[in-house]
Structure 1
Amino acid sequence: MYPSYNTSPKTPDATGMGSNAVQLAAKMHLGWNIGNTMESPGGETGWGNPQITESYVRFLKQTGFNAVRLPCAWDWHHLSDRSKAKIDPAWLSRVKEVVQYCVNNDMYVLLNIHWDNGWLDANINNLKKDSVNAKQKALWEQIATTMRDFDEHLMFASANEPPAENAEQMEILNSYHQTFINAVRSTGGRNSYRVLVVQGPGTDFDKTDRLMNTLPTDQISNRMMVEVHNYTPAQFTILDQDASWGKMFYYWGASHHSTIQPDRNPTWGGESEHIRVFGLMKAKFIDKGIPVLMGEYGAYRRGNSQNVPLDLNTHNDAVDYWNRYVTKQAIQHGLKPFFWDTGAALDRRNNRVLDQRTIDAILAGSR
């Protein structure tokens, strides 16, 4: 369907690639998402964020983070020839430049194909399986070839939050992950040894525990990680208006319930739920030598929105507590946390902290 883009495979090169997945995970302390940027359909600034600068990456490092997740679109507005799934060389070059900023500053970087207008996520079915695998192969051959000379600071991730609800869909999703791994490895050089990350179904803890019972095969052992995301409970962390399936929670944590606004206290998803799901990942993967990245997580303040909690002090304390507690428990269970930020916590234009309480909470949880 598409031409092969693995046009210059290199012999395997282990230089600078000495860490296996467990050793590499141990080097990652705290991760940060540069969200709503490289995955925007209008290019890097399409969702209102500035272009990423090396000074911002240095600022991240100074703030206390040593790993970056770089959500990235490729198919969505970045193909120079759609019929051939050919990525615009200028876009490949720009993404490579941003990765270089991270590597220059001894930051580990996770580069993915994000939602990308849903070409993979919306097509986890037998009807589209062959065409999706063809596109996955074409895109990853190009990305991997372009980024091949980076050392182990760079990891690739197959997708973002690919949904799968049952064993049949999981088998199809695994084929997409397998295509990703095969495509990257086929390009050779340092990609023969690069650590690769595959996403659990929906990056959901319970579905990943239930359905992800086999990982793709790899020509090199112990170079794979699994990724899940954590916004539990969503009514507290990310919901910005009441939904048919649930009302917003403004408060969270056993000691951060409101007496002023009890109808906005949480009804599920407390501390014990996080302990439970972290335990699932520890038993299924981490204890078996397969690191788990918590590739996105975070709770966010509502004080600036139209939905202002009546008990604002308790709300803000609860947000701090969630970010601190979840960071701490993730790390204690062996997961590697990457906070999701779209520019609200750190000012990317002036390299300053906008939400000191959130940064303090994350850092406190990491100690």
Structure 2
Amino acid sequence: MNPAWNLGNTLDAVPYEGMWNNPPVEDHVFDYVVERGFKGVRIPVTWTNLHSSGAPDWTLDPSWLQRVADVVDMALARDLYVTVNVHHDSWEWADVTLPNANITQIQDRFRAIWEQVGTKLGCVSSLVSFESINEPPADTEAEAQLINEFNEIFVEAVTEAGGFNTQRVLQLTGPVSDAAKTAEWFVPPANIQQPWALQYHYYSPYDFIFGAWGKTTWGSAEDYATLTEELSLVRRAFPDIPLILGEYDASHLNTEPAARWKWFDQVARVSTQHGVALVVWDNGLDHLDRNTGVWRDPVALDIVEAVLRGENNSLPDATTDHGDLEQWSSAFVWNRAGETVGDAELPWLFHGNSLVGVRTQTGASLVQGADYTVSSSAVTFRASFLSRFLGPDVEPGSKANLTLTFSSGAPSVVEVIQWDTPEFLAQPSPALGQDLNIPVQYKGWSMVAAVRAVAEDGTFLFDDWTQWLPPLQQGRITFNGQYFFDGEQVVIRSASLDAVASLGQPVDFEFEFYPRVPGNSITFTVDPADF
């Protein structure tokens, strides 16, 4: 199944398929998956709102069971390995950490679901695997034991459902599908006779992956060591068990490319060294545009595929000292409006490869020596070449896209950008209970790097402990939950407006852009008097 892809935010949407950011899945989506080179697909399924009766039978809606079976058939028709699970039920009704959790009822409902799913899919191809439950909450050893009991119930229910389920590959999970907790607390069911694998997930470091507290850098020696250690925990604990990294991702929506690609490379490399199958998470916004078949970050996926082929990837370098006051990245050539174009030296991590060639988005090949030069640690684009796209009087924006190919490994991309500080196009009035959408004119790369939220008296709106973080992180808030950007607007989330109202004083929201250098930011002030 390696590599595989997640059909996320679809059959697992709450309360129904189509209720999140994706329409109901169509057959052709799996063509895109196969064409991209994936061998497997994980189909997360949430069953919470799709029962036709409650306790004690917990009967599943037959039409929903059939819908799941139909989607499984779409994938099987393309010879994909398929995983079906119990997904967001883990926090909808199966959360054993809640103080009032009715463990008996939770276990009865869990058993009933798997008895019915096992019966419905009991005679489908052996390409189909069942996964017990996604990221079940557990904070203590006692709660982790309840997750182990989930796995026991899962095995019993699927086995008793009959069909070919006594031979089917089953995927078990540890508490929260977390590597450390799984390594410490997972115990395999004594009653399992089927071939089985252990699944866990990896989204670390949290602040980099989820755009929290201004963390836009990754790739220091410490970062590499931490990732390597965390991804080695489960293999050390279970040296002879097939392992599956059922979810991992660093989204292009909120991570800088060079840092992201280094992260993907190392996740794939360490996982592959440990014989772990890789299943990239995709919520419909991160990777595949399911309407057009376009993959939004092909470099990341190329990097993974190259690692699986045993090749080294050549990667653009970027800031690795998290204490720096600025951030640079070799995934870009930047020229500020009004400035003369100079040579652009981009530090590069060749990893034993040589640069074979460079071409533009039109397919035109660059001439080494005239358009660019290569050293042992950098690629330098000549000013004479860059002046075709950049210059003191050129309007801001992305002007060219350069693809670099190497003697081995994945190709990489450098974006050539003329930039200036963006501008707000309006000053809308905030209102409690809803997001504040602010029209913006980007003047360069259309992405927000971070947002600093500081009150009139110097108080950080959220997380005062960030005062002890490096300079580019102090007072910064979190992507999606507290700020967002979408097309031609930046967004202050309603939760941030509520926080301003509670604080009772004006707060400056400083939107910072790439390149992260002093002055490349604009500030919107929210005054609680305006609510």
User: Considering the TM-score relative to the shorter chain, is it more than 0.5?
Assistant: yes
Sequence identity (%): 30
Report the counterpart of residue 292 of structure 1 in structure 2: 243
| Residue identity opposite 1:224 in structure 2 | W
Higher relative contact order (CA 8 A, sep 6+): 1
Q: Greater shift after overlay, 344-353 or 87-96?
A: 344-353
CA distance in 2, matches of 1:136, 1:54: 29
Among candidates 134, 156, 163, match of residue 189 of structure 1: 163
CA positional deviation for 1:219: 4.5
Among candidates 234, 239, 262, match of residue 321 of structure 1: 262
Among candidates 273, 280, 285, match of residue 233 of structure 2: 280
| Residue identity opposite 2:84 in structure 1 | L
Among candidates 142, 148, 173, match of residue 147 of structure 2: 173
SS at match of 1:200: strand
SS at match of 2:264: helix
Q: Does 1:238 align with 2:180?
A: no
Contact 1:50 1:348 in 2 (8 A): no
Q: Deviations over 1:141-197 (max 9, x none)?
A: 111100111122111111100122222112211111111110000011201111111
Q: Determine which structure has the larger strand proportion and give its number.
A: 2
Contact 2:180 2:234 in 1 (8 A): no
Report the counterpart of residue 358 of structure 1 in structure 2: 300
Contact 1:125 1:172 in 2 (8 A): no
SS at match of 1:38: coil
Report the counterpart of residue 306 of structure 1 in structure 2: none
| Residue identity opposite 2:159 in structure 1 | R
Bigger Rg, structure 1 or 2? 2
SS at match of 1:273: helix
**C-alpha distance 277-188 of structure 1, shift in aligned 2 (>3 A):** same
Report the counterpart of residue 229 of structure 1 in structure 2: 201
Contact 1:123 1:132 in 2 (8 A): no
CA positional deviation for 1:302: 4.0
CA distance in 2, matches of 1:113, 1:53: 21
Q: Deviations over 1:292-313 (max 9, x none)?
A: 111100111246xxxxx8xxxx
Among candidates 85, 98, 110, match of residue 136 of structure 1: 110
Q: Determine which structure has the larger helix proportion and give its number.
A: 1
SS at match of 2:28: helix
CA distance in 2, matches of 1:87, 1:171: 27
Gaps of 5+ in 2: 310-531
CA distance in 2, matches of 1:105, 1:196: 21
CA distance in 2, matches of 1:225, 1:248: 37
**C-alpha distance 125-183 of structure 1, shift in aligned 2 (>3 A):** farther
SS at match of 2:270: helix
TM-score by length of 1: 0.78
Q: Does 1:337 align with 2:278?
A: yes
Show structure 1 runs of 4+ deviating over 6 A.
Answer: none
Contact 2:289 2:295 in 1 (8 A): yes
**C-alpha distance 280-92 of structure 1, shift in aligned 2 (>3 A):** same
TM-score by length of 2: 0.55
Q: Does 1:203 align with 2:174?
A: no
Q: Give the CA RMSD over aligned residues.
A: 2.0
| Residue identity opposite 2:197 in structure 1 | M
Count of aligned pairs between the two proteins: 306
SS at match of 1:271: helix
SS at match of 2:216: coil
Among candidates 31, 36, 40, match of residue 4 of structure 2: 31
CA distance in 2, matches of 1:29, 1:366: 8
Q: Deviations over 1:55-90 (max 9, x none)?
A: 211210110111111111112x21122243111111
Contact 1:323 1:365 in 2 (8 A): no
Q: Deviations over 1:107-155 (max 9, x none)?
A: 1111110022521134577952211110011111111100111122111
